[in-house]
Chain A
Amino acid sequence: MGERLHPAAIAVYAADALRQGAFPLLVILGASVFGGGFDADAALRAGMFALIGTAMAALAGGFRWSTTRYSLAGETIRLREGMFSVKEVEIPFTRVQAIDVEQGPIQRLFGVHKVQVQTGGGGVGGELVLGAVDEAEVERIRALVGRQVPATAQDAPPAPERRLSGRRLALAAATSGQLTVLLPVVAAIAQMGQQLFDDPVQGERTLVGALPDGAAGWALVATGLLVLAWLLAALGTIIGFGGFAVRRESDELRIRRGLLQRRQVTLRVGRVRAVRVIESPPRQPLGLATLRVEVIGFAKEQAAAQTLFPLLRREEVEPFLHELLPELADGLDGLERPPRRALRRYALPPLAPTAVAAAALAIAAGSPWPLLLAPLGAAYGTLRFRAAGWRLEGGRLAVRSRSLARSTVLAPAAGRESHDLAQTALQRRARLADVAVAFGKGTVAGVRHLDADVARALWVAIGPR
């Protein structure tokens, strides 16, 4: 049945096999090097092993290529792999949610692409993977599977496209750290504390040995760790989002990204249920935001796969959406707010844990200074209150909330999966209620502590149809 992959697949599969076999090979290599000391003999042996390994991988790659066939007949894409244990996958065209095209280093060497066909199953990676196909074949697959109606080049308006400029990429990288930069520092301190707990005498000795001298030393260590974490996050952003471009073609969005590993994702607009505008702590004061999309069947993919655009100025968001995703475009401002009397319900719950923690710290340290940390919870709650808001106009829902980052969900209410109206016993007395609208596994748009009548009216308005 069907066709073979591009012969470059032999190299791709061989590399896969080599990668799987690399660890045992390295162990053998390491053993022979360290076991007998590194001399000419050992080098020769190591070279032999490497050669045999590569030859075997090439054989395995060739075998796998020769036993792999795929076809695109009868409105179904089929893949058959293997000889001794045969694996067959069939996906009807109508069940295809997205076609990811990606170029790893080996694919780039041969000028071919890796095609991953995604279904609604929602697993990570494609449910059907073609390791190497050439450019023309990618277009054929796209035309057959990705689009039921082929676009005609003449009457189609020029496809809108947006690229991430180098300056923006640098800005995105510089502000990518968020609060995760603090984690390694916290972890290191926690581990030192743990040592002290486990074995006070020994622990203290190692701790004192590891301690920097004086406050300046401490500050230096902490700053160093922060800078390192920040650099790593920035590097991750540059590698992940370098060359980011998004393009609208009839009912599809094509997203390309990645510096080392070029990835290309095709999303059907009909599958996009919601847009999330995320303003993380370092970006919000600069008026910057990230756009993410909630795509049905995509929830388990990594966050980068759900990025519609890595960095925009806040005021650019609405025009951007009107150009590329008018189906979901909406304004970010002019939202209804929860009533003033809801403020203390936002502020008090987070105040309790920070107040307790601050008191415990103050007692442990025998100094009143940690008590200054107590109001942090209330400040956080107040920020959440100020972020909370909603609007429902012409069937379009906009809901803003904050956990650490401020996030605004824009979506047609008809695209929801379910919606809740909830009221606790305490809220009943204060005539307040919560509304939450689920658009997918990763997107629940919720506003807490609305006036009960307003909440109920909103819930009904989103209501049955």
Chain B
Amino acid sequence: MSAMPEPAQRLAPAARWAWRLSWAGGCVVAMVVLAMAGRGLPGSWQTAGMIVLAVALLAGTPLVPELRWRRWRWEVREHEIDLQRGIIVVRRTLIPMARVQHVETERGLIGQALGLATVEIHTAAGSHEIPLLTDFDAGMLRSRIAELARTDDG
């Protein structure tokens, strides 16, 4: 086990703001949908749903992004990419550098506003993400992975 220390790098601190925004936004949208579509439901169901969503909004917004951010670790080494994330399901993934086909960076709407970008790593079996790094770090990481993937032929 000592052969595999936990990955050391964290996401950008501002990632928490991106998640807070999207969590709160999701809760509000769900409340609006419930308010509009809820007329068909019995009144008590609608109230119960509203309470659940309100709790999610008030308690989840500060809590969930913080936990997520603390759990998310990554590290790019010479021969592999090491990811660890998840609050309820903790998942650790190892991607051999030789299997990386291409790397992309992508910025969503919230990322745009906060200057954050997501690095997407594609292999023949699917893709993996390192979300919400600062623009600069994401760009550097993309070139670094691309360079390492080119030189490491397994």
Q: Which residues on A are within 8 Å of B, measured CB to CB? A: 120, 296-297, 299, 414, 416-425, 428, 438-441, 443-444, 456-457, 459-460, 462-465
Contact = CB atoms under 8 A, between A and B. Distances in A.
B93 A420 contact: yes
B89 A418 contact: no
Contacts of A120: 124
Given A418-B99, A419-B93, A459-B92, A297 B124 contact: yes
Interface in B43-78: 77
Nearest to A440: B125
**Which 4 pairs across A and B sit closest by C-beta, in order of nearness?**
A417-B125, A438-B125, A422-B91, A418-B95
Given A416-B99, A462-B94, A465-B80, 4 more contacts: A417-B99, A417-B126, A441-B124, A463-B3
Query: What's the interface size class on B, roughly?
Result: 20 to 34
A417 B88 CA distance: 25
B70 to A, nearest CB: 15
B128 interface: yes
B38 interface: no
A418 B94 contact: yes
A420 B91 contact: yes
Contact of B154 (A414, A420, A424, A428): A414
A457 B1 CA distance: 7
B97 to A, nearest CB: 10
Contacts of A417: 95-96, 99, 123-126
12 contacts: A414-B154, A417-B95, A417-B99, A417-B124, A417-B126, A418-B95, A438-B125, A439-B125, A440-B124, A444-B125, A463-B4, A464-B80
Given A438-B125, A460-B1, A463-B3, A416 B92 contact: no
Contacts of B92: 420-422, 459
A42 B125 CA distance: 57
Interface in B81-126: 86, 88-96, 99, 123-126
Interface string B124-136: 1110100000000
A464 B94 contact: yes
B79 interface: yes
Contacts of A465: 79-80, 96
Contacts of B80: 464-465
Contacts of B128: 418
A463 B86 CA distance: 20
Interface in B128-153: 128
Given A421-B91, A422-B90, A424-B89, A460 B4 contact: yes
Most buried by A among B92, B94, B123: B94
